[in-house]
Amino acid sequence: MNQNCATIERVPPGQPVHQLEPQEGRKLVGNIQIPPQPEIVRALMNERVSDNPDLQRIAKLIGNDVGLTAAVLKAVNSPLYGLRHKIVSIQHAISMLGMKNVGTLVMGLAMRNSVPAEGMERFWESSSRTAQLAYKLARHLGLPIADEAQLYALFHDSAMPLLLQRFPGYRETLAMISATAHIEITELEDRRHDTNHAVVGGLLASNWGLPDSIREAIKWHHDPLIFIRDGVSSEVLSLIALGHIAEKIEETISRRLNDCAWEEFGASSLYQLMLKVDELQDFIDSAQEQFGGSDD
């Protein structure tokens, strides 16, 4: 294993992962200020599940917020989306990218605005790239969960800024995480803060009305035994796998490599999606061409 991977004591193999009791969950909600679901997010979630989404209503809701509109247009015109022509309006963005794609982008921006933690710009940029890569990978593999994969990848680590707000020492924890295997991240958080971002992320996803499969994937995405546990749906496993692979691709193109996570989940994620190593490398090469690398 990569010698840079942290070596804190692990939970013994096979030991059950701690699950929050309702009372514990309520206590966490009280101690950590989990932002309520914004009106725009509520409207978007309703339209996502509608047989006849009202695109004009969504465009109007976004357009009523000048700051949000500017942020959406800036994002969709970035290399992340690789569009040939400049998008000049929310209606144009929806027609080009689809309501769900734009909706996920808006939800990410809403999350960022709801948790104004300082020094997290790179985190949010990385989350956005990872979400778009998960979407593209799911589409490439012909999976019917591309929209869900994008939303999951965007939100799966979103509780980290919340923990940064709540715990003064969490910035030091974030620094330690960069050299810590994914299976150990939540253990490290538990030891230092008596909770972790997977648990809090599940509560956030519930507060924001995200689909059950996404909430489950967020809750379990650091569990080393998740791919062999009974009773876990194929959709949840595929979301987790897409997230880990998208993170691997994002870390490669942004030159912030951490092999620890890939050593823990890489093989299982590839197997879950029946993705070969050479196919993954081809996808990485394509992503590097599109994004042209990222800031160090």
- Of 240, 186, 249, nearest in space to 20 by CA: 186
Cβ atoms of residues 17 and 11 within 8 Å: yes
What band does 219 get if pLDDT is binned at 50, 70 and 90? very high
pLDDT digit string, tens, across residues 112-159:
888 777 778 888 888 989 999 999 999 999 999 999 999 999 999 999
Q: What whole-number distance in Å separates Cα of residue 62 and Cα of residue 71?
A: 10
pLDDT, mean over the chain: 83
Tell me what pLDDT residue 27 has.
55
Own/partner pairs for 28-34, CB < 8 Å, 24+ apart? Answer: 28/195, 28/199, 28/200, 28/203, 29/203, 31/166, 32/162, 32/163, 32/165, 32/166, 32/195, 32/200, 33/162, 33/165, 33/166, 34/162, 34/200, 34/203, 34/204, 34/207
Task: Say whether pLDDT at 83 is over 60.
Answer: yes
Rounded mean pLDDT, 9-23: 46
CB 240 within 8 A of CB 157: no
Q: Is the pTM of this model over 0.95?
A: no
Does the pLDDT of residue 38 top 60, yes or no?
yes
Is there a contact between 177 and 163 (Cβ–Cβ < 8 Å)?
A: no
pLDDT > 90? residue 55 = no
Distance separating alpha carbons of residues 215 and 211, to the nearest angstrom: 6
